[in-house]
Amino acid sequence: MDTTMEADLGATGHRPRTELDDEDSYPQGGWDTVFLVALLLLGLPANGLMAWLAGSQARHGAGTRLALLLLSLALSDFLFLAAAAFQILEIRHGGHWPLGTAACRFYYFLWGVSYSSGLFLLAALSLDRCLLALCPHWYPGHRPVRLPLWVCAGVWVLATLFSVPWLVFPEAAVWWYDLVICLDFWDSEELSLRMLEVLGGFLPFLLLLVCHVLTQATACRTCHRQQQPAACRGFARVARTILSAYVVLRLPYQLAQLLYLAFLWDVYSGYLLWEALVYSDYLILLNSCLSPFLCLMASADLRTLLRSVLSSFAAALCEERPGSFTPTEPQTQLDSEGPTLPEPMAEAQSQMDPVAQPQVNPTLQPRSDPTAQPQLNPTAQPQSDPTAQPQLNLMAQPQSDSVAQPQADTNVQTPAPAASSVPSPCDEASPTPSSHPTPGALEDPATPPASEGESPSSTPPEAAPGAGPT
* Predicted TM-score of the model (pTM): 0.58
Same domain, 309 and 386: no
Residue at 363 is within a domain: no
The range of the structural domain enclosing residue 404 comes to 375-470
Residue at 202 is within a domain: yes
Same domain, 235 and 89: yes
Nearest-angstrom CA–CA distance, 172 and 180: 6
Q: Which pLDDT score, from 0 to 100, does residue 351 have? A: 46
Same domain, 425 and 279: no
Residue at 334 is within a domain: no
Same domain, 311 and 208: yes
Same domain, 168 and 304: yes
Which of 285, 300, 318 is the endpoint of a domain? Answer: 318
Q: Which pLDDT score, from 0 to 100, does residue 113 have? A: 93
Q: Which pLDDT score, from 0 to 100, does residue 289 have? A: 92
Mark 135-144 as b/e (b = at least 16 C-beta within 10 Å). eeeeeeeeee
Among 439, 359, 362, residue whose Cα is nearest residue 399: 439
Among 346, 291, 378, residue whose Cα is nearest residue 456: 346
16: left (phi over 0), alpha (psi -120 to 50) or beta: beta
Which of 299, 318, 337 is the endpoint of a domain? Answer: 318
Same domain, 303 and 406: no
Nearest-angstrom CA–CA distance, 277 and 296: 30
Q: Which pLDDT score, from 0 to 100, does residue 288 have? A: 92
Decide if 384 contacts 368 (C-beta within 8 A). Answer: yes
Same domain, 398 and 270: no
Residue at 359 is within a domain: no
Same domain, 263 and 172: yes
Rg (CA), the chain: 43
> Which residues, listed in sequence order, are joined to residue 26 by a DSSP beta bridge?
none
Same domain, 82 and 173: yes
End-to-end CA distance of the chain: give it in Å, rounded.
90
Residue at 368 is within a domain: no
Q: CA separation (Å) from 150 to 130, 145, 273?
A: 18, 10, 38
Among 11, 180, 152, residue whose Cα is nearest residue 95: 180
Residue at 444 is within a domain: yes
Q: What is the pLDDT along the chain (470 residues), one digit of tens a residue?
A: 443 344 344 433 333 334 434 444 556 667 888 999 999 999 999 999 888 888 887 776 655 677 788 889 999 999 999 999 998 998 888 888 988 899 999 999 999 999 999 999 988 888 888 888 888 888 878 888 888 888 899 999 999 998 888 888 888 888 777 788 888 766 666 667 777 777 788 888 888 888 888 888 887 776 655 555 554 566 677 778 888 888 888 888 888 888 877 776 666 666 778 888 888 889 999 999 998 888 777 766 666 766 776 666 566 556 554 554 444 444 444 344 444 444 444 444 444 444 444 444 544 444 444 444 444 444 444 444 444 444 444 444 444 444 434 444 444 344 444 444 444 444 444 444 444 444 444 444 444 444 444 444 444 444 344 444 43
* Torsional sign, CA 135, 141, 145, 147: negative
Nearest-angstrom CA–CA distance, 332 and 340: 15
Residue at 330 is within a domain: no
Query: CATH number for the domain including 268?
Result: 1.20.1070.10
Same domain, 278 and 424: no
Which of 278, 299, 318 is the endpoint of a domain? Answer: 318
Q: Which pLDDT score, from 0 to 100, does residue 53 have? A: 83
Q: Which pLDDT score, from 0 to 100, does residue 355 have? A: 45
Same domain, 380 and 253: no
Residue at 332 is within a domain: no
Overall number of domains in the chain = 2
Same domain, 84 and 202: yes
